[in-house]
Structure 1
Amino acid sequence: MKEFVAHLLVKYLEDRGVEHIFGLCGHTNIAVLAALEKSSIKFVNTRHEQIAAHAADGYARARKKTGVVLSHLGPGLTNAATGVANAALDSVPMVVIAGDVPSHYYGKHPHQEVNLHADASQFEIYRPFVKRAWRVDRPDLFPEIIDKAFHLAESGRPGPVLVSVPMDIFSAQIDPRLFDRVKVNAQSYQKPSIDDATARKIVALLTSAKKPLLYVGGGILLADAAKELRDFVDHLGIPVAHSLMGKGALPDDHPLTLGMTGFWGTQYINDSCRGADYILALGTRFCEADCSSWEGVYTFNMPPTKLIHIDIDPAEIGRNYPVELGVIADLKQALSVLNRVARAMLPQPRCDERLVNEIAEYRRTFKAGNVAAESSTQFPMRPERILADVRAVLPRDALITTDVGWNKNGVGQQFPIYEPGSILTPGGFATMGFGAPAALGAKIACPDRVVVSLVGDGGFGQNPSVLATAAEQGTAVVWVIMNNLAFGTIAGLEKAHYGTTFGTVFQKDGKPYSPNFAAVAQAYGVDSIRIESAAQFKPALENAVRSGKPYVLDVIMENAPVPTTGHWNIMDIYSPGQKRTHVTV
């Protein structure tokens, strides 16, 4: 007895453990929606495909499972593209299943096809950023393709894949035994590790170094290797700096955590990296902002600093800095071996009390420099006060999402993260509009954890219809809109270098303007409050968290730049030879 492809797809997803699919309807995918109606899989119905992709991204990061997106063709697929590209650059596993034009209409340019230069090739749009894009040409090939899609998304360096399915193939009938064949395939594959000889060499190099340092990226979190990292650090007593994406891999209150490097890093952290004689880099691609545009006088100076780099992706090893030792391995596997070998070579843990005290003193000094802003009663609020109050209210394991701007840069620099994987931020693509829907996905993934989205008014304004989905699903995210009535970070850059804020601040009739986001939320059926004083914010946030419902706090804040001694060479492009920064006004 043959069955419809759409029904067999849903059964396959159920067997694979998929619990949620994020998406939006269209005439090409309604066969799948009809099959989902009686499924155990919950369909999260969004009002925009970018919301679906970002929510699936947040879900995948929080749940440590592959996110699944269901999209329509043409404008649906292009709407989702930004969110899928964001997941790609942050190495988040995702399977996008998209309806496509009917196969019997190839070459006729049917409704909503992207067809100006080629026929039946919408999947080509995604090629630059997905790990692979398939178009299904025959119904009997679909089972093998969808199984390959999940394996590829999850294997090696994780990332999104696209499966573009002509709508007539969803409605075709095939023998269920074609799916039975792929269901016996292992759902996950064993990951590569390192040998003992390599591990001994790495431990020997680090323990003989005068100033060794670990540099940690988001790959540690993707590999679920935070515990192994902490065990390694605790035994060898080596300090840890991190990229933006590596924040939280080692808790910010661990005595050997230095902090974030690069443009938004501090002088002490950057100097510590530059002064290291050996660096063991784990799961990082040495991004520009994290590395001060790779200029050796600021953050990393390799050589003479010698680099050991372990990553699952061979393309990242040696890309931006030459390595003395490059190792291709899964970080959880590699650190497990390194821990065993380190304990065999050095039975007793090492501890440099002088270094621990130095890091503690640096933290006290840095914190003291922010006290006035964190306790300021001014209104519009100081952004530091917003972050301090949020941290004081939330439990250690609360999930935080950020967007782009003060909320991301300030959180990376100033906001302590205590549980690995509890900060979700758009690193590689730096996508404005990520934070609000990513929080929706994170809360769906972890309903028992507090989820707060720290997002600017520019970012929240990208896709406010996320509130409709939250209201329908009863998803208790708290959105804190850090509202500076501007694309604030860019406004600061333009003011510093060109003496104007044209096109970056929101005005009406020459006066500052902002939508009343609290009123917008209420229109969607979501509880909200517009904060009118600094003293009002913290109790309002406590109430929002206690409510157990979706909640919006619209907080007007000063558009003050994130302070930093770091470097990014866009400053030299704007103002050559002037040593001007975004702080200079």
Structure 2
Amino acid sequence: MTRTTPGRRAARTGEGATATVADALGAALADAGVRHTFGVVGVGNVRVVAALTKAGVRYVPARHEAGAATMADAYHRVSGEVGICTVTYGPGLTNTATGLADAVKNRSAVVVVCGDPPGGRQRSIDIDQQAFATSLGAATVRVTSPADAVAAVAVALRTTVAQGRPVVLFVPVDVQAMPAGPPQQAPPAPAPVVTAPGADVGALVALLGTARRPVLLAGLGAWRADARGPIATLAELCGGLLATTLPAKGIFGPTPWSLGVVGSLSSPTAAELIGEADMILAFGASMSEWTLHGNGRGVLDPSATVVQVDLRPEQISPRTDIGIVGDARAVATALCDGLLEAGTPTSGWRRRVADRVAGSNWNRQRYTDRGTADRIDPRTLSSALAELLPEHRTLVTDGGHFIGWPARYWPVADPSGFVFTGMALQSIGLGFAGAVGAALGRSDRVVVLAVGDGGALMGLSELDTLIRTADSALVVVYDDAAYGADVHLHGDSLEVSLGTIFTDTDFGGLARSLGAEAAVVRTVRDLDVVRAWRDRGCAGTLLLDCKIVRDVIGYHMADPGRAAPSPDRPATPTEEGDAHE
């Protein structure tokens, strides 16, 4: 974060004015480098919002507190800065639940500045706010007096960065209005614990020397540890292939040796190659059923050796054979040094599978287009849009069945250019809010949002916020008039259909009523509106209501207990195919 220049705090409180605790909080956040905050105003935080704006922090008013929390989460994920949101007490805090819980699971540096009931007592209308926040996995810090307010801000910011964990900062309403007293000094930060690679690395060097088909898997932890370079070098030294988890999409850039996203979203060719690996070396990656596409070892060869490197011991999965607690960059660097010192010969696997790796990209996979006169195939839509999207972009996706197509077909520059809202919590409805945070966090990029019709309607209020705040945004609604995931998981029996299939929604009309440009897309020709929008400099928000066919089912919706269909398997009416064009 950048810091403000000395002397600005006095100027922000006003000549001769008595600074309140709220003023001191706003100034402390501004002096820490906070540039944006997101929130919904209520009696518990109205003074805080006023103080923040007076201190020079831009306040972005959301329409719902869950949206405000998600905006702060996405802001952090694309910018690396602490995301700040502010809400009132009671329902203001409870409304943050889904967005805050998702931020917790994303390990995002987010601080929620929340009002607290006056007098330090709990009334009949109040809830136990600390217990609520703790139940979601957030840390809590409480202001108790005018003297400890600034110190509490420092502790909250330090905790969220050090622990990669959202913090809720409680500020009682009556304390906010009190005159700010001489601030207490924040307690000293604990000395950082540096985890050395340890003796396990020596044994792992020897193990790598025996591997003939190694795959090096990078997760978001590898990105945050700045381990991209050492991991790529290690793969070159051992002759291994590269792969990523979905949150780490784009970490290796355009290297020819990457298989892309591993697991549920692997292309059939990539899934085959991953299944042939005799060693998987994962850095900062969650070895979940989504990463491995199933229970147990999923798509992996049962005899493969699985090694997991992670900073947190609790993240080491029982699915792995060897767990190493350590920093991804430090361990990868130590392994490179060990291989060079040992003179380990490079595996010849890359040479043998070069043609297959080159053909593993999703754009190289064939399929039978199932588009109709009034509905477009989502694969055709996604592939065509890949050629039209602005080069400098941040891709944001909501949750839902549709996500497989933008995640496959639309590349990103690096993991900071990709925000999957709701992934960690398996929720929908946070996409519009995530796009707001991403747009403010990286205003030098166009924000591109992919959202299903169900999630779009659930989080529709934040479309207004996106239109109000984003300089440049493209919204792609994958509109099959259904909760597609539930339809495809449970079939279309009468009971399921009543709750999952709906009539068409006029998303274009809704967007235009809020001030955006909009178009309905039924064929590739309808995408000319994107070219026109780009020619005008991508100004403002353009929403595409893409009417997609409902009967194309992505591989990631297949039973996780079995591998994805092979590339030569004929397409069926209910499963995504690769048979012929």
Category of TM-score, reference length = shorter chain: 0.7 to 0.9
Counterparts of 1:330 and 1:498 in 2: how far apart (Å)? 52
Structure 2 match to 1:170: 176
Deviation at 1:36, TM superposition (A): 1.9
One-letter amino acid of the counterpart of residue 323, structure 1: D
> Is residue 326 of structure 2 the alignment partner of residue 329 of structure 1?
yes
One-letter amino acid of the counterpart of residue 202, structure 1: L
Of residues 484, 487, 490 in structure 1, which corresponds to 2:480?
A: 484
Answer whether contact 1:99 1:166 (CA < 8 A) is retained: yes
Task: Give the TM-score taking structure 2 as reference length.
Answer: 0.85
Counterparts of 1:350 and 1:189 in 2: how far apart (Å)? 42
Counterparts of 1:285 and 1:185 in 2: how far apart (Å)? 32
Structure 1 match to 2:23: 7
Give the match's secondary structure for 1:547: coil
Structure 1 match to 2:313: 314
Structure 2 match to 1:254: 255
Answer whether contact 2:74 2:435 (CA < 8 A) is retained: yes
Counterparts of 2:573 and 2:242 in 1: how far apart (Å)? 27
**Unaligned 5+ residue runs, structure 2?**
1-16, 563-571, 577-581
Answer whether contact 2:430 2:459 (CA < 8 A) is retained: no
Of residues 15, 23, 37 in structure 1, which corresponds to 2:39?
A: 23
Counterparts of 1:273 and 1:533 in 2: how far apart (Å)? 35
Deviation at 1:29, TM superposition (A): 0.5
Of residues 533, 536, 560 in structure 2, which corresponds to 1:544?
A: 533
Of residues 236, 239, 258 in structure 2, which corresponds to 1:237?
A: 239
Aligned counterparts, 1:342-381, within 5 A: 342-346=339-343, 352-363=350-361, 367-370=364-367, 372-373=368-369, 378-381=373-376
Answer whether contact 1:401 1:453 (CA < 8 A) is retained: yes
Structure 2 match to 1:575: none
Answer whether contact 1:3 1:176 (CA < 8 A) is retained: no
One-letter amino acid of the counterpart of residue 285, structure 1: S
Deviation at 1:456, TM superposition (A): 0.9
Q: How many equivalent residue pairs?
A: 548
In structure 2, the CA distance between the partners of 1:406 and 1:99, relative to structure 1 (3 Å rule), is same
Q: CA offsets per residue over residues 482-533 of structure 1, 9 Å max, x none?
A: 1111111211222268895231111xxxxx331x111111221222223354
Structure 1 match to 2:519: 529
Answer whether contact 1:124 1:133 (CA < 8 A) is retained: no
Structure 2 match to 1:278: 279
In structure 2, the CA distance between the partners of 1:107 and 1:399, relative to structure 1 (3 Å rule), is closer
Answer whether contact 2:44 2:116 (CA < 8 A) is retained: yes
Q: CA offsets per residue over residues 263-299 of structure 1, 9 Å max, x none?
A: 3434443443444332211112212222233234x42
Structure 2 match to 1:305: 304
Deviation at 1:242, TM superposition (A): 2.7
> Is residue 416 of structure 2 the alignment partner of residue 421 of structure 1?
yes
Of residues 153, 177, 181 in structure 2, which corresponds to 1:146?
A: 153
Structure 2 match to 1:576: none
Of residues 65, 83, 88 in structure 2, which corresponds to 1:67?
A: 83
Deviation at 1:231, TM superposition (A): 3.5
In structure 2, the CA distance between the partners of 1:200 and 1:407, relative to structure 1 (3 Å rule), is same
Deviation at 1:168, TM superposition (A): 1.3
Task: Give the TM-score taking structure 1 as reference length.
Answer: 0.85
Counterparts of 2:143 and 2:574 in 1: how far apart (Å)? 49
One-letter amino acid of the counterpart of residue 170, structure 2: S
Q: Is the deviation greater in 486-495 or in 418-427?
A: 418-427
Of residues 521, 529, 545 in structure 2, which corresponds to 1:554?
A: 545
Deviation at 1:556, TM superposition (A): 1.2
> Is residue 157 of structure 2 the alignment partner of residue 159 of structure 1?
no
Answer whether contact 2:267 2:361 (CA < 8 A) is retained: no
Answer whether contact 2:551 2:573 (CA < 8 A) is retained: no
Give the match's secondary structure for 1:424: strand
* Cα RMSD for the two superposed structures: 3.2
In structure 2, the CA distance between the partners of 1:482 and 1:189, relative to structure 1 (3 Å rule), is farther
Counterparts of 1:416 and 1:377 in 2: how far apart (Å)? 27
In structure 2, the CA distance between the partners of 1:40 and 1:348, relative to structure 1 (3 Å rule), is farther
In structure 2, the CA distance between the partners of 1:100 and 1:380, relative to structure 1 (3 Å rule), is same
Q: CA offsets per residue over residues 301-337 of structure 1, 9 Å max, x none?
A: 56x42232111221011x332432x222232444344
Answer whether contact 1:94 1:160 (CA < 8 A) is retained: yes
Answer whether contact 1:378 1:534 (CA < 8 A) is retained: no
Deviation at 1:136, TM superposition (A): 3.4
Structure 2 match to 1:292: 293
Of residues 385, 394, 399 in structure 1, which corresponds to 2:394?
A: 399
Answer whether contact 1:312 1:331 (CA < 8 A) is retained: yes
Runs of 4+ in 1 over 6 A off after TM superposition: 347-351, 496-499
Structure 1 match to 2:384: 389
Deviation at 1:442, TM superposition (A): 0.8
Answer whether contact 1:191 1:333 (CA < 8 A) is retained: no
Counterparts of 2:256 and 2:150 in 1: how far apart (Å)? 50
Counterparts of 2:400 and 2:406 in 1: how far apart (Å)? 10
Give the match's secondary structure for 1:394: coil
One-letter amino acid of the counterpart of residue 335, structure 1: A
Deviation at 1:70, TM superposition (A): 0.5
In structure 2, the CA distance between the partners of 1:133 and 1:190, relative to structure 1 (3 Å rule), is closer
In structure 2, the CA distance between the partners of 1:71 and 1:338, relative to structure 1 (3 Å rule), is farther
Deviation at 1:340, TM superposition (A): 4.7
Structure 2 match to 1:127: 134
In structure 2, the CA distance between the partners of 1:185 and 1:334, relative to structure 1 (3 Å rule), is farther
Q: CA offsets per residue over residues 211-230 of structure 1, 9 Å max, x none?
A: 22212222223334334433
One-letter amino acid of the counterpart of residue 482, structure 2: A
Structure 2 match to 1:519: 509
One-letter amino acid of the counterpart of residue 320, structure 1: P
Structure 2 match to 1:217: 219
Counterparts of 2:281 and 2:523 in 1: how far apart (Å)? 46
Counterparts of 1:139 and 1:65 in 2: how far apart (Å)? 27
